[in-house]
Structures are given as C-alpha cells and as structure tokens.
Structure 1
C-alpha cells in the first residue's frame, strides 16, 4: 500500500501538471494576479494544502511570484524543468557545442574580470580534482564540476553562473562518456592548470584556445 507521503507527492505532481498546462496555454497573462488558493483548489478539485505546495514549487522555479499578503503573480512561461528534460537527452556533440558557447565565452570574460580570490578558489579546486584524476573517476568528475563552476563564476555574470548550474549535469555525463575508466592522459588535466595560468596572466586568447581544446578533448596548439 503506498505511503501517505507518496500519495501527497502524486497529488502535488498532478496539481503542478495542471497549473503548468494552464500557464503554457496562456490562461493568465504575464504579471497577472493568479486566482487565490481556495479558487484554484476548487477549480482543480484538490485541497488547498496541495495547491499551496504546488505554488511553492512554481515560485521556486521562477514561474510564479508570491507576494506576501497580496497573492501570487505570473512571472514567466518558460519552465526550467522543460529545459532540464531537453538537456538530459542531448547528444555528446550537442553538449560540446553548448559548452563551447558557455565556457569559452565565460573564460574570456574571466580573463578580464577575475579576482585574486577567484584564482585561489580555482587552484584549490584543481588540487582537489587532481588528487582523483588518475584514480576515482566519479570523485574526479564531482571535483571537476566544482572547478568548472568556479571558472564560470569568475566571469562575474550571475546569469551565466546560474545557466551553468543547470547545465553542469550534462557536462558531468559527457565526461563519463569521454574519459576512460583508467589511464587518463595527463595532458588533458594539464589543460586545466594552463587555463588558470592564462587567467592569472589575463591572456584572453590563450585562455579561450585552451578551453576549446579541453572541451574537444584534444591537445592545445
């Protein structure tokens, strides 16, 4: 017999599906105040608690803005969960193309904007990932994701940083597919070190070149 938690989760999921469908169909205009929780509960045929939980999730994803004492307003129509589903099914080449767009642009900005703290955090992340590179692939990938997020963060563009957080799981999966379980080439890891050196020297062109080489899994020229 299913637990109460599973039943509640299922009801919330159903409420979310119905609300997202209405948002996608344009039932409410951007900036429009949404019906109250009691009104939505009656319309959807569910409890107010279920509506409240669904609205919290929509607020977390940015589709809805909850204004205390005033109600909920529609903020957007593009659901980030749809983007995540699309990213999970992308090919290796699609992942590479997207990484080039995000990471190469980010590293060029980072070469201009990086701080001493950014460099210190990048070198610390490198130290952690380097300790696992030739040994534990999963632990290396987890540490490498921290390095790449720090790299994008060094561009000091909050939108780029948030976009990369959504995309990082696709990057992690692509690494699992291109890195051998054993005998990983040292020159691939060395590209990370050279990228940080280029950032420290504020050498924008070299940093971009090294980043492209890393993404394409080839030596830099």
Structure 2
C-alpha cells in the first residue's frame, strides 16, 4: 500500500484495506496488520485507520477478536451476510454443499490452473505437512488455504466470492475434526493437489469427491456417538 492524500482520508484508507482483501493479499481467515502497522503503511493517523477498519467490520468483511486481532472473514459485504448465515447452518448441510463445490472446483482448477496456481498449491501443501506436528494453528490455516487455492485456480470470480463466505465455517469444521480424531489426511491432500497440478480434471474431481465422502462418513460417526 501507498501513503494516501489528505482528502477523505477515512474513505481512502477504507478502500485501500478493501483492495488488500479483494486482491487476496489478505486472505479470508488471516489476521490483518495491527493499527500501528496500518498507520505506518498508509501514512495516516491511528484514528483514521481505526475508523476505516470499523467501516469494514460493519460491512461484514472484517471481525475483531478480543485479545487476538482483526481477521478477514469475507471479500465483500455480501459474503459477510452469507458468512453469518452459514455460521448457524448444520454441519451435515455444509459438508453436502462442500461436496458439490469442492468437486466442481477441483475439476475446473485442473483444467484452468496456471504456473502461479501450481506454485501456490505446492507451497501450501508443504506448509500444511511441515506445520502439522509443531504449529497446529498454522497447519489448519494452510489446510483451509489449500481448498481456497483450488477455487482460485478455477479462475471463476463468482465461485471464489461464494466460497470465501464459507471459509470461516470450513476452518472451524477442519479444526474440530482434527482435534476429535487426530487424522492428518496428508495423503488425501497430496493426491488432490497432484491431480490439479497434473491437469487431470476427472481424477481431481474423483479425489475431491472421495475426500468429502470420507469426511461425511466421519461426521455421521461422530454425530452417532454424541447421541
């Protein structure tokens, strides 16, 4: 970001923050820079930055978390509304929706991915594996970003907008399942990424579908045991 002119400062800073989110430089689920950092980046005062951040909180794009920071929860105000709706949805319904979304996204990604997409997927897969045993939070974040990166590789902006609204509940579901059964799913993620990288849409769709099938089966088992 660049220092802004001293006119309509709050609006300008708000638009710069929005641009960082929409571009993906601040990914859904990630924590944005602190107020002092944003003050330095934009060349504006702390009150201006605070008001700009608050505007995006009201728009449903950011969320303040006490003692942790401010996080991206959507790439648009519409996505924020959808995120609120999905937050109250049943896990079974969300998994069934993901099965449709992730399978189609994997097929599209295998057809349309470019070298940047491939590099991103390989890096995220490496991060997920490397962090799993020593930085669980980072591993979960990498896991979530792998699934998002596949949607990014589909090069369908509408698809990505909708999927981003699901990311907070997807992240919560991944964390919950990992804490419950300790399964790593390293092989499944590696196979999915490789199918996309290889440009094999049939295999990518099949792997994604099988992976979500296994998650659905696991959900049914956990749901039965909780009764």
Whether TM-score is above 0.5 comes out as: yes
Q: How far 1:58 sits from its partner (Å)?
A: 11
2:175 aligned residue: 176
CA contact (8 A) 2:191 2:207 kept: yes
2:192 aligned residue: 195
RMSD over aligned Cα atoms: 2.8
TM-score normalised to the size of structure 1? 0.58
Q: Whose Rg is larger?
A: 1
Q: Superposed, which structure 2 residues align to 1:70-219 within 5 Å?
A: 79-180=78-179, 183-185=182-184, 188-217=185-214
Deviation track 1:160-193 (CA, whole Å, cap 9, x = no partner) reads 11212111011011112222357424xx221111
1:68 aligned residue: none
In the aligned structure 2, how far is the partner of 1:58 from the partner of 1:128? 29
5+ residue gaps, structure 1, are: 1-52, 63-77
2:36 aligned residue: none
5+ residue gaps, structure 2, are: 1-51, 62-76, 216-227
CA contact (8 A) 1:135 1:182 kept: no
TM-score normalised to the size of structure 2? 0.57
Greater length-normalized contact order (CA 8 Å, ≥ 6 residues apart): 2
Q: How far 1:135 sits from its partner (Å)?
A: 4.2
How many residue pairs are counted as aligned between the two chains?
148
CA contact (8 A) 1:114 1:199 kept: yes
The verdict on how the C-alpha distance between 1:95 and 1:182 changes in structure 2, with shifts beyond 3 A counting, is: closer
In the aligned structure 1, how far is the partner of 2:174 from the partner of 2:57? 31
